Chains A and B, each alone.
Chain A
Amino acid sequence: MRTSTAILSALAIGSAAAAYWTLTKPQTWTEEETRLVLSLGLASLPPLPADPSNAVADGPDAASLGKALFFDTRLSANGTVSCGTCHLPERQFQDDLPRAKGVGETARRTMPIAGTAYSPWLFWDGRKDSQWAQALGPLESAVEHGTDRAYIAHLIGVHYADQYAALFGPLPTLDAVPDHAGPNGFGTVLDDWLALDDIQKDAINRVFANVGKAIAAYERTITPQPSRFDAYVDRLAAGEDTSGILSGQEEDGLRLFVGKGECTKCHNGPLMTDNFFHNTGVAAVPGLPDDVGRSLAVDQVLADPFNCLGPYSDAEPGDCAELKFLGKAGHEMIRAYKPPSLRGVASRPPYMHAGQIATLGEVLFHYNTAPAAPDGHSELAPLNLNSAELAALEAFLGALDPIAKEVQR
């Protein structure tokens, strides 16, 4: 009896000491931790997935046209706004602002572009299902580019006719189409669109879709770049010495990231996003219209004529599994938003879908305390991390910044 009590006690002391050692002085990784850490490295990123909905997705000429269009401010109502106005190459293709500013101000934060070719859903709420369909949204937004699809089609005819024809065939004759017309416009823009016949509408839609496909071909070339964390993972995977790549505090943060911090629940895989939608109780921005996130976007993407199953998609119906089996909007999807990739996150404040949180430290405080959601139900539960643990997590996130100084364009 005494012997067994002594053994039990020794085991207890040993376990407690081991647990303390593990939590405070990370030296080695368990098998499960190793598996999770390796799964986050860029080496685990599969090759760029095909986009069957975009026949020119991998064409260099399409990417070249798309790049020209991406930076062309003529694609705006006032001649000063291009995709590159908010998606700045030198700033991870985002703009450092709480909410994007085009010809007006939007209600959402600009998202970075790197790695979006891997995402089945685009925008914070996933209301588009491909890069090319996404690219069309801002062009017709009254507060972003402020244009309409007839204007864009005419502009292609004036400035890009040869490049367009080489990729997509001759442009349709649009002589009878007014300068401005589109289903998302207001006043005469909408009236003029409704007055067009179906053949004219289809011709304009096709040019518009092809503009998106060229822009997407360019955006596919914008890929996530290696970070110090990836260098660490590569060494770990090879069974080599990992010392000197991450600081002890960053290693502590990584251990929390894959463990007690529960970050990999949503920020998983080499892009550190699960490409789904979550209500994390982020506050609404006072003065902005109600924003219900994914719960509205499900119907929008299903109804979008530019989706994978639509008439302007190059995909076969069997290629559109994400759209076909998409989870319908229930209570869980109210104010649910896509977790952004965490690559480069430390150097692009402010945070959240409408730039509600100014610093990374405050973001971690948010996840640690798990406030109630303004609408719907937050998935978070308090993490009860102490200040040293929060600092370690923040330090680790800094190790996800790209190493390379040169800018990808």
Chain B
Amino acid sequence: MSNLITRRRLFWSVPVALLAVGGIAVAKMMQPPPADLDLSLAKSTDQGLYTVSVEPGLSPISVGTMHGWVVQISTRDSKPVDHARIAVDGGMPQHGHGLPTEPQVSADLGEGRYQVEGMKFNMPGWWVVNLSVDGPDGPDTVTFNLVL
């Protein structure tokens, strides 16, 4: 009986191994983003000081098109954060390179809203956009994920 199970295991292990190897190879070649990627466009900053939401000016975001984002920042108790200093960078974690542009805040729209210009993503795939926010409760950071 134990012999039979061993043989049976051996028999089934071939397609299972094939599937596993094939799966890894396909995963590597296609470089999919992590399956559990958080694609939400509104989230708490890393230290929990602020809530930040972003609204890309293009929907869906297309590869290679320069566009702007509106960033909304509020405190933990939901008050809009005015006069914050915001820095934007980002890149493709799986490729090890940054954004093709250097986006900047072009206008403080009031009520905790800021216009960011110069967003551009020049490849399909997984991108991250990092916002560094310096406001009344101190500096904090937040990362948004995009898949183009």
- By a beta-carbon cutoff of 8 Å, the part of chain A in contact with chain B is 5, 8-9, 11-13, 15-16, 19, 36, 39, 259-260, 262, 264-266, 268-269, 274-276, 321-322, 324-328, 330, 332, 379, 383
Contact = CB atoms under 8 A, between A and B. Distances in A.
Most interface-central of B64, B96, B125 (chain A CB within 10 A): B64
Nearest to A332: B97
B109 interface: no
B123 A9 contact: no
Given A262-B29, A379-B97, 7 more contacts: A5-B12, A9-B12, A15-B22, A16-B18, A39-B63, A264-B123, A327-B100
B66 interface: yes
Contacts of B63: 39, 268-269, 274
Interface string B111-148: 00000011010111100000000000000000000000
Contacts of A328: 102
A330 B96 CA distance: 13
Contacts of B22: 15-16, 19
A330 B66 CA distance: 21
B12 A326 contact: no
A12 B19 contact: yes
A326 B103 CA distance: 8
A262 B66 CA distance: 23
B98 A268 contact: no
Contacts of A9: 12, 15-16
B30 interface: yes
B99 interface: yes
Contacts of B29: 259-260, 262, 383
B37 interface: no
B98 A327 contact: yes
B95 A327 contact: no
20 contacts: A5-B12, A9-B16, A11-B19, A12-B18, A15-B22, A19-B22, A265-B123, A268-B63, A268-B122, A268-B124, A274-B100, A275-B64, A276-B100, A324-B117, A324-B118, A325-B117, A326-B101, A328-B102, A332-B97, A379-B97
A327 B64 CA distance: 14
B124 A332 contact: no
Interface in B20-39: 22, 26, 29-31
B104 interface: yes
Closest 10 CB pairs of A and B: A325-B118, A12-B15, A12-B19, A274-B122, A325-B101, A260-B29, A16-B18, A13-B15, A9-B12, A276-B122
Given A5-B12, A268-B124, A274-B123, A327 B18 contact: no
A255 B63 CA distance: 20
Contacts of B122: 268, 274-276
Nearest to A18: B22
B103 A325 contact: yes
Contacts of A259: 29-30
B15 to A, nearest CB: 4
A5 B64 CA distance: 47
Given A260-B30, A322-B66, A12 B16 contact: yes
Nearest to A2: B8
A325 B15 contact: no
A36 B124 contact: yes
Contacts of B19: 11-12, 15-16
Contacts of B98: 327, 330, 332
Most interface-central of A274, A275, A328, A379 (chain B CB within 10 A): A274
B1 to A, nearest CB: 13
Contact of A265 (B15, B101, B117, B125): B125
B51 to A, nearest CB: 26
Nearest to B99: A327
Contacts of A326: 101-102
A266 B97 CA distance: 13
Contacts of B30: 259-260
Interface string B51-93: 0000000000001101000000000000000000000000000
Nearest to B66: A321
Given A15-B22, A16-B19, A322-B66, A327 B102 contact: yes
B100 A379 contact: no
Given A19-B26, A321-B66, A264 B117 contact: no
A182 B36 CA distance: 59
Nearest to B123: A265
A268 B123 contact: yes
Most interface-central of A8, A12, A324 (chain B CB within 10 A): A12
Contact of A325 (B12, B18, B66, B97): B66
Contacts of A383: 29
Contacts of B12: 5, 8-9
